Structure 1
Amino acid sequence: MITNEFWLDRWKTGRIGFHQEGVNPKLIEFWPILPKGSSVLVPLCGKSNDMIWLAEQGYQVTGVELSSLAVIQFLGDNDLSYDTHQQGELKIHTVNGLPLRIVEGDYFLFTESEFDACYDRAAMIAMPDSRRAEYVTHTLGRMSSTASLLLISLQYDGDTQGPPFSVEEESITALWGNKIQRIASENLAQTTPLYKEQGHNVFEESVWRIQA
């Protein structure tokens, strides 16, 4: 069962293979050009340095993360000074000198809306099938009617159980709507020996976009 406690335990025990050092090359390649100051939501952000990159492009970045350990590590690893205030059950950490804040708490309790864009590298694929529709509905509710989305998803064969979960192409279009389009894909099983060793013939990473 994938619960909040499951993820908190993963951070506590350092089992965070989903974390990527550096900035995701697909973010740099495929992020849409938006006006400076556009608000960008990063759900289930972990301690991703993708947020630093987005903030350095001049966007107002809001990451939402359950684990206080992830938040502390992100702020500490990047030597960021910040101010914190409590807002209901959520803690808001506002970084000094960068247009960036981290909201600490359960993403489903985060109700701000009208974001201009959303970046999802590892959030949807962290959701079990039973919660995926709820996650997408909640995320779409945070975005404006003209918002852009950049989504990175996985689809793989074999006996592996997630997270990260394998999500069928048809499921993505059913969940996100007919505006979403796949713009790139790569079978990592052909380029990364690890996936082949794990028994995958297909471990496909796809990039999807809703463009305003």
Structure 2
Amino acid sequence: MITNDFWLDRWQTGRIGFHQEGVDSKLIEFWPALPKNSRVLVPLCGKSNDLIWLAEQGYHVTGVELSSLAVIQFLGDNDFTYETHQEDELKIYTVKELPLRIIEGDFFRFKESGFDACYDRAAMVAMPSSKRVNYVEHTVARLSPHAFVLVISLRYDGDKNTPPFSLEDSEVKSLWGNQIQKIACEDLAQTNPRYTEQGYTFFEESAWHIPLKNE
């Protein structure tokens, strides 16, 4: 069972293989030039440096993360100064150096709306099948009607019952709707030997977007 305690334990024990040290290459390649001050939502953000890259483009970035340890590591690793305040069950960290906030708490308790864009690298694939529909519905409810969305999905062979989960293209389309479009696909098993060493014959990482209305 993938519960909040599962993720808190992963952070507490340092089992965070999903964390990437650098900025994700697909974010840099496929993120559009949105208007300055656009509000960008990053669900289940961990301590990703993608947050910094987005904020440096001039966007107002809001990351949501369950683990207080992940939030504190992110702020400490980057020497950020910040202010905090509590809103019901959520703790808000506002970074002083960049237009960036981290919301500590359960993403499903986060109810702000009107975001202009959403970046999902490791959130949808972290959701077990029983929670994916609720996750996408909750995320879409946080967005403006014509928001840009960039989603990274995974598809691999084998029977793996822990995240990140494998999703078929048909499921991604079913979850996000017909407006989502696949824009790139890479078989990481062909470019990184660690995947073949783990027994995968293929490990596809795909980028999807819901484009801006005028694209």
TM-score normalised by the chain length of structure 2: 0.97
| Aligned residue identity for 1:155 | R
Aligned residue number for residue 127 of structure 1: 127
Q: Does residue 200 of the first structure (1) align with residue 194 of the second (2)?
A: no
Q: Does residue 158 of the first structure (1) align with residue 139 of the second (2)?
A: no
| RMSD of aligned alpha carbons | 0.6
Aligned residue number for residue 62 of structure 2: 62
Aligned residue number for residue 15 of structure 1: 15
| Aligned residue identity for 1:196 | T
CA deviation string 1:59-88 (max 9, x = no partner): 000000000000000000000000000001
Unpaired runs of 5+ residues, structure 2, are: none
Take 1:136 and 1:202, find their aligned partners in 2: how far apart are those partners?
26
Aligned pairs for 1:40-55 within 5 A? 40-55=40-55
Aligned residue number for residue 3 of structure 2: 3
Equivalent pairs counted in the alignment come to 212
Q: Does residue 102 of the first structure (1) align with residue 102 of the second (2)?
A: yes
Take 1:41 and 1:19, find their aligned partners in 2: how far apart are those partners?
18
Take 1:72 and 1:37, find their aligned partners in 2: how far apart are those partners?
25
Give every structure 1 segment of 4 or more consecutive aligned residues whose post-TM-superposition deviation is greater than 4 Å.
none
Unpaired runs of 5+ residues, structure 1, are: none
- Worse-superposed segment, 151-160 or 138-147: 151-160
Partners of 1:116 and 1:143 within 8 A in 2 = yes
SS at match of 2:145: strand
| Aligned residue identity for 2:79 | D
Shift of 1:189: 1.0
Take 1:160 and 1:139, find their aligned partners in 2: how far apart are those partners?
25
CA deviation string 1:81-118 (max 9, x = no partner): 00000001000000002100000000000000010000
Q: Does residue 39 of the first structure (1) align with residue 34 of the second (2)?
A: no
Take 1:122 and 1:32, find their aligned partners in 2: how far apart are those partners?
19
CA deviation string 1:20-44 (max 9, x = no partner): 0011111000001100000000000
SS at match of 1:139: helix
Partners of 1:67 and 1:105 within 8 A in 2 = yes
Take 1:191 and 1:33, find their aligned partners in 2: how far apart are those partners?
29
| Aligned residue identity for 1:121 | R
Aligned residue number for residue 188 of structure 1: 188
| Aligned residue identity for 1:5 | D
Aligned residue number for residue 177 of structure 1: 177
Shift of 1:198: 1.5
Shift of 1:162: 2.5
Shift of 1:45: 0.2
CA deviation string 1:171-196 (max 9, x = no partner): 00011011100000001111111111
TM-score normalised by the chain length of structure 1: 0.99
